[in-house]
Structures are given as structure tokens and as C-alpha cells.
Structure 1
């Protein structure tokens, strides 16, 4: 005799009942159109009356779960059908296995551990902020470009002053996004407000772009009464339901399987939105990275996995983490379309995320983006990166490969920005950050260095 097990989650049960009303279960419920009643095929128990009100609770077991039908594959299914077919037209040279036909050969060949060449990196601007000849990119209006640059400056100054505040003992912990400002702002600019963000901990710029104020950032870092988490989280663990930004959590990569599940729920509800989940290169060594990607691929969930490959997982260099060609090649192993992009090129990031979002939403598929960048700052205020990398390396990336300066050069070359605007912006933002952080009168700004 089967043992019945009830699902304790009200939300799951309610969602299932809602779907039954909408015909989601398919053959599991027999709809009597003439009487307007519904009955479960199992035992003929009545499920709801004419007014679609439930009369009895449903019994739950594994068999019950098989009543529910997954969404049929969209474009990805057609590609999968082609992939599962034999590579040869001669059926005599192929064998049928679970998963499709596979051609066979009498020659023993192992798949190479790596390709001869690395996957190229998509970029639009060179290191001086000039457009690369014949480049293909998403056009950005003057208003959008100026806003993107202004927010990059906001993030840069906020990081600098908050970091100094931690060093002065005003807050207990901080973590900067120095060197990764383009990833933060450009990726956020390419999304819509309906898209759901599951961050790691180096994406405050995404929240900044969506309207989270400097005061709200300061409140969270202080953990004061205005903090939405009421001081229950350590600093930099931001979150905002209003801005569709899940609260940051410290455990690495746990957000990736969650993102796949949330994306699948968007698909179930026919939402024209996607989920974007960020992860660092170090997080790809976690089991949740692989579970999240595989789950999203199998369920064809509209989610963008955005990996910041900044070269260092705290003190571990990428070459000591894995032997593969970075992160982008891992997507193909799970059947996920992938791209490698220059993370210090705001236009390239904006273009790549715009295209990825369109594919994720319209084709209902996951996308993997690997953004090559560099973490200019220490991993956090608990770290001293000069202990494991050369100071010259840091200075080079801070000056020669700076994403903020690079984007400014392009914006200014279009006649959309001037030195006077630059001075006014930095002065204004600096005052706003300090006042929001400690409430000082503007005459006392000398406590912090010029930015």
C-alpha cells in the first residue's frame, strides 16, 4: 500500500491548486464542461465546484507529482532533436541509446582536454575608449550613456569613501567593486525592472542603477534602525524587494540553483522577464554552480548566469583553480549557450547582456556570460592582496585598464561629457556619500581624502 505524504509548504500547495484550476495538470483532472465541475482521476474525488472552490484536500505522493506536466521545449527542443540524431546518414554506422542515436567508429579517440585556441573575448572599445573598427554593438543613446557613466562614478566614489570609513572604524566590514564598475552598471542598464537579480556580493552597482539610494546603502552597512534587515546581516549584504534584488548571502554559489528555480517559475507564469545571477570565478568551483547550470539547462529556464572572472578567488589565482579555458567553456558541457566578454568594456557588457536577455526571455533558455576583468581592490577589508600579488599588477589594471576612464573617453568623444561636468559630478557625489554615511556638515569633508 502506498504511503501518502503531504507537502507541508503552503505556497507549493497553493500554486499547484492554482495551476489545476488553470488546466495546468492536463490529463490529471477531468473537466466537465457541461456542469462546470472538476474531478481528480484518482478515485474520482471532487476537486472543486462550479465556483472553482476546492472541496477536498488532495492526497500527495510520488504518483501525484507525475500528474503535473513540464513545459514543452521551445526552440531549444528543436535543437536538441537535431543534436540527439546521428551525425551520419548511414543508420548502419549508428546505435540507438537512451538519449538518441550515436554514431560509432572503430578508431579509439579520446576527446581532447582543451582546444588549440582559447575562446575569443568580445569587446567594442579598445583600452583608450575608442571604437574598434567594424565592431557590432548595441547603440546607446546620449541620455543612457551619461547615466551609465554617472552611476559608474557614483559606485567608484561610494566604494572609496565607504572603504575609508571602515578603516576609520565607522563600519565593521566592507567590500569594493573597484575595477568591475562596468560589469555592475552596464549589465544593470541592459535589463528591465521586472528582471530578478540574485547577486553574489560584488554587485552593489546593479542595485544603485535600480534606484537604491546612498542613504539606504549607508543604513545597511551601519545596521541601524533604517536598515531593511534590521542589522541581522553583516555589512554589504544588501537586498530590496522593491527593486527585485534578492538579499545577498555569504555562502558561495547557493544563489545559482535558486536562480534556476525562480526562472522556471517565471516561465510557468508566462512572465516576459528573466533572472540574472552573478557569481565570481571562485564560485564556479562550488557544486551549486554545476547543479544550477544543469537544472536551468534541463528545465529550459530563462536565466542569465553572469560570471565575473576577475583573476582571483580571494588569494587563489585562476590557474590554480581549474585547467579549463576559463568559465565560458563550461556552459557547453551543460548545453547552455555562452559568450566571453571584456568585463572592462561597458559597451561590450551592455551589448552582450542585452542580447542574452532577449534570448533568455524569447527563446526560454539559460545563457552563460563570462566577463574577463580584474579585481583592483582587496577581496575585502579582511584581506591584504599585496601578500599574494604584485603591486605593479594592481597599479597597471587600476590605471591602464580602468573601465570608468575607458567609458568616459568614449562618452566624451561623442561630445556628451566635459571636464566641467566631471568636476561637478565628482564633487556632488562625494558630498552626498559622506553626508549619507555619517551626516557630517559639508565643512567637515576633510575627514576623507579627495576622490
Structure 2
């Protein structure tokens, strides 16, 4: 599949238009909510049947992870869960656009991106169960640990991007070496100082980073209209790099736009802001009650734009999937659900001394004293509880 970086140059305003509002006529879209394939003059790709079925499978399984985790929380097996219902296309499109060497800095909701990077979803459940702080190795999957501090990962991503830039892993022309970084955050985080500071550093140093904002239109209970007077993607121009808005419920468009933005970064052309215009159909987390602050009519409206349903319509209409394929996928999702339910309940509780194991790469004298003091304290209990 050819990679294009067209549409990200000086002609940005003409290509994407400053008049774009609430999705807008210039919203980058390759698959309509009705499942019709459309084309973009600058950002378009030819997708194979295998790729299309792969996107569909990814989204179905990601939604099942989300559904099972929500149920586990309701049954008291997880302390909390951050849902992604309705945002599967934004995450799978962005996740599948990554190369192996690209590094991801997520928030606490990037379950679909984690899936794309090969992180066992059981590791995600361990974090929300409270038995670890994230048991996956970021260096193994090039997928950072979940970030609870809103927007902090944008600074981490920019710093990492500046690092690989100085290591000479950007703009060499070697497709297996040139790397990019992507930072995921929501529309609420775009109001944080950390994110805006990351924009400044990324622009100043031409860092190879893509800022991927899933604008699900609600910063917990605060609507996007109270956060920004202009569409979020237009903010990027004020910092000196391009911003684009893509239909975040369209996995094809999200893939195409993110792929182009990442390739632009790998080539040494600097940062890009991608606003994936989507909607959070579920709650912010399982402690949230969205019926207190938003209209049910809005949710019903966005259900008609469901990212999985629109791709299934397209696949069926073009004879790319049939009932047998869908049934087989359902069976695979059921097996995944069973794996998550049984695996979650079997996760071992942490040992008290484990908290000292991953504080620093090398143990400091202060940490050693603290470790020994805490070990002595535990010895005062029967059995030591090591």
C-alpha cells in the first residue's frame, strides 16, 4: 500500500479548510456512516480485502475486551474501568498505522491501541484490578504504561521523540530504522498545560511526534463547546505545525491520516496534530453516570454512526464477509471473553515488598534503607507477609 504525506504541507488550509466545524464538510472521511466508500483527493488508500476484514476483527475483539472489563468491574473484580465504546475505529486505525519501531504514549483508555501493539489485555485488567501498575514491558511492545495524570504523556512523547531524533533514527530513508512517536489524549487533556507545553517543544525542535486527540466531545461532564472556541485541530497552526480533523468513527480514514502523519514524522518533517472526531457512547469510567449531563438523543444519534456497524455494512455489501465469517468471529470473541474472565480472577495479589522493585533502574542508598526498614516492619507480623 503506498504511503502519502500529501495534504500536510504549506497548502494545509486549502486542503482541510478553516471553515470546518462540528465535523464539517471538509472532515476527512473514506467510509460514510451508511457504509458507502468515498474518496479523498489527497489522503486515500487502496485497502485489500484482508486488511478490511482485519480492521473489522480488531474492532469487534476490542469492543469485547471493553465489554468484558466493564462487566468484571460491575461484579467487583476491577476497581474501575475506562470505557472506549464508540471509539474503536479511532484506536484501531491509529494502532494499525504504526510500525514496529514507533513508540506509543497512551492515556488510560487506549485498549485498542494496546491490542494492536501486542499487549495482553489481561495486563490491562491487572492495572485496573489494582494488583500492579501495568505489568507489560514498554520496551517489548513499544507501548508505554498507561498515564493517569491528564496530558502528562504528551510531554513524555515529545521528549522521547527528541531523543530518537538525536539518536539519528529519523529521516535516514531507511524504512526499518526511521521511527516516530505518537501521543494519545482526549479533548479534555487538550486544555491542560502539559499538552500545550509539549506542542511548543515539539514545534521548536521539529520533533517526530504525532499528537492524536480522540475528541469524544466530553471531558468527563464538560462538553467540547466549553473547552475551545475553535475546532481543536486548528489550534496546531498557532504552534506552527499542521492539524487535521478525521472522522474518528471511520477506521479507513483514521488509518490513512495517521499513517501519513507518522510517515511525515519519520521523514523528519516534524509534528502533526490529528483530531479524531468521535463520540464516547459509554461512560467516562464505570464511576460516571453520563445521563446526568448529556441527552439520550445525542447518544442515539451517534449509535447510527457506530464504527463497527458501518464497516460491516460495507463488507457485506461487497461480499467480503458472510454469516459464517461473522459467526466465527463471534466464537473468537467469546473465547477471548472467557480468557479475560478466568484470567482476571486468577491474577495474584502483589507482595508488599514488590513496590521497591521498579522504582529506579539502579537501587539508591535511600531506597535500600527504605526497603530494609519496611522488611523489618513486616517481620513484626506473624509470618512476615513477604
CA distance in 1 between counterparts of 2:295 and 2:83 reads 19
| Displacement of 1:247 | 0.4
Tell me which of 218, 230, 247 is aligned to 1:342: 247
Aligned match of 1:125: 31
Indicate yes or no: 2:331 matched with 1:427: yes
Tell me which of 255, 278, 287 is aligned to 1:382: 287
Normalized per residue, the structure richer in helix is 2
Once the two structures are superposed, what CA deviation does each residue of 1:109-128 show, in whole Å capped at 9, x if it has no partner? xxxxx966647311111111
Tell me which of 301, 309, 314 is aligned to 1:396: 301
Once the two structures are superposed, what CA deviation does each residue of 1:170-205 show, in whole Å capped at 9, x if it has no partner? 111111111100011111111101100001122111
CA distance in 2 between counterparts of 1:386 and 1:117 reads 29
Once the two structures are superposed, what CA deviation does each residue of 1:133-158 show, in whole Å capped at 9, x if it has no partner? 67651222222222221111011111
Aligned match of 1:190: 97
Distance 1:123 1:385, change over 3 A: same
Distance 1:238 1:323, change over 3 A: farther
Tell me which of 372, 376, 382 is aligned to 2:277: 372
| Displacement of 1:161 | 1.5
| Higher RCO by CA contacts (8 Å cutoff, separation 6 or greater) | 2
Aligned match of 2:194: 288
Count residues in correspondence. 319
SS at match of 2:95: helix
1:204-283 pair list within 5 angstroms: 204-224=111-131, 231-232=132-133, 240-271=138-169, 272-283=178-189
| Displacement of 1:266 | 1.0
Aligned match of 2:79: 172
CA distance in 1 between counterparts of 2:318 and 2:261 reads 27
Contact 1:214 1:433 in 2 (8 A): no
Once the two structures are superposed, what CA deviation does each residue of 1:31-73 show, in whole Å capped at 9, x if it has no partner? xxxxxxxxxxxxxxxxxxxxxxxxxxxxxxxxxxxxxxxxxxx
CA distance in 2 between counterparts of 1:166 and 1:432 reads 17
CA distance in 2 between counterparts of 1:238 and 1:389 reads 36
Distance 1:296 1:425, change over 3 A: same
Distance 1:338 1:435, change over 3 A: same
SS at match of 1:241: helix
Indicate yes or no: 2:62 matched with 1:158: no
CA distance in 2 between counterparts of 1:190 and 1:371 reads 14
Unaligned runs of 5+ in 1: 1-78, 81-113, 225-230, 441-451
Unaligned runs of 5+ in 2: 1-8, 11-16, 170-177, 345-386
1:398-417 pair list within 5 angstroms: 398=303, 400-417=304-321
Aligned match of 2:175: none
Aligned match of 2:348: none
Aligned match of 1:305: 211
Contact 1:267 1:364 in 2 (8 A): no
Query: Which structure has the bigger radius of gyration?
Result: 1
CA distance in 2 between counterparts of 1:432 and 1:117 reads 40
Tell me which of 50, 56, 72 is aligned to 1:143: 50
Once the two structures are superposed, what CA deviation does each residue of 1:262-315 show, in whole Å capped at 9, x if it has no partner? 111111112100000011000011111110011000100000000111110000
SS at match of 2:282: coil
Distance 1:167 1:392, change over 3 A: same
Distance 1:401 1:116, change over 3 A: closer
Q: Under a length normalisation based on structure 2, what TM-score does the superposition of the two structures give?
A: 0.77
Deviation beyond 6 Å, 4+ runs, structure 1: none
Aligned match of 1:84: none
Q: Under a length normalisation based on structure 1, what TM-score does the superposition of the two structures give?
A: 0.67
CA distance in 1 between counterparts of 2:222 and 2:186 reads 12
CA distance in 2 between counterparts of 1:289 and 1:152 reads 28
